[in-house]
Amino acid sequence: MPILQPVADAATARGDVVAWLASPAIGAHLPVGAPWIRSRSALRAFAADATLATVHRIAPQLPGLHVQLFHGLSTDKRDPARGHFKVRGLFDLYCTHGPATTGPFDALARTHRNFAVRETGWPKLDPLFASDRGGADALRAQAGGRPVVMLASTFTESLSAARDLLPYLRAWVQRGDRHWLLTLHPKSDPALIDAYRALQGPHATWLESDRLLDMLRASDVLVCDTSSVIEEACLIDVPIVTVRTRVPKAFMHDVAAASDVDAAIDMALQHDPSRTQAMRAYAQSIHPHRDGHSAGRVLAAIDALLESDRKGLARRPFNAWRRINEAAGLKRLLPD
């Protein structure tokens, strides 16, 4: 939802009509009064000109242009053959974030010739470059001048360090020399979330993932594993400690064991100039757009493709198995 909300806001502001297609779990977090499509008849009646997705798959039966915004900035979380750059013949438009993704998708577009690519930036980050209305200041105030360390983790169990970190984290929090901002992906194991939430007290604050941007702004160091939050931290110069990240980079303080994180945080707080320089170069490659208007560029790209009626693009390939499979998923999501 944080990825799509800036686009919905920008579209509504210019007079477009927006509706959400979401599971009950996600729909429960929609803004009060937000139009929520809950049946196939309502979906047909809405007759959207474009359907936007943040995941790698979309039902071919959904109306209008199929637009990919992506779930994160990271291209390293999975093998490229099945991850960020896998083209499944499901989208008309890929809205990329920066040169690191635009170049590969442009090359794929020349090969497949059935989708367009536009570098728009990632709408989720629009609020990062706007006023936070004091959210980060309030979190920093809780630290009382101590270093603020944010801890986040991916929900992918094979890549997550959250379980390994927990016993050490209990001791570090109790020590009280830092203030911890803790969050986990909402799809994480509920028991693990409860264990992290239980650490809240004078030395730690638990926050839901919708406060991620406030947490990043308030932090002196990010502790993570393999998650898109790493790339988001890069954009605002937050030093990063990682635990067995899938593809370590020069600016990261990557450690092999959770027990090494404590010392790595101390190193990160020293702000080594060479790491900072490497981080800024990486940030420029993944997301150079810092004006907070990525949502507007997404809408402009959709408008242009609609007005051209997909001019110059071949028809997307027909895949009977995929069409049946995605239709079954849509049927499970929507009654009627």
pLDDT digits (tens, 9 = 90+) for 301-330: 999 999 999 888 998 887 777 777 777 777
Q: Rounded to an integer, what distance in angstroms lies between the CA atom of residue 47 and that of residue 112?
A: 27
Query: Do 112 and 143 fall within a single domain?
Result: no
The pLDDT, as a whole number, for residue 22 is 86
- For the segment 162-173, the average pLDDT, to the nearest whole number, is 96
**169 shares a domain with 29:** no
Which CATH number covers residue 231?
3.40.50.2000
Q: pTM for the complete prediction?
A: 0.84
151 with 278, same domain?
yes
Contact 32, 272 (CB under 8 A): no
* Residues 278 and 143 reside in one and the same domain: yes
CA 334 to chain CA mean position, Å: 25
Task: Say whether both 39 and 99 belong to one domain.
Answer: yes
Do residues 63 and 144 share a domain?
Answer: no
Q: Does 198 share its domain with 105?
A: no
| Average model confidence (pLDDT) across the chain | 91
- 190, 256: one domain: yes
Cβ-contact 230, 74 below 8 angstroms: yes
Instruction: Answer yes or no: do 208 and 265 share one domain.
Output: yes
Same domain, 119 and 153: no
Instruction: Tell whether the model's pLDDT for residue 112 goes beyond 60.
Output: yes
For residue range 130-167, list pLDDT tens digits in order: 877 788 999 999 999 999 999 999 888 888 899 999 99
The number of folded domains in the chain is: 2
Which DSSP symbol is given to 318? P
- Residues 213, 241 share a domain: yes
Spell out the residues 6+ positions from residue 283 whose beta carbon is closer than 8 angstroms to its own.
Answer: 231, 234, 235
Number of other residues whose CB lies within 10 A of the CB of residue 328: 11
Range of the domain at 255: 135-286
Distance CA 155, CA 84 (A): 17
Indicate whether 280 and 306 sit together in one domain. no
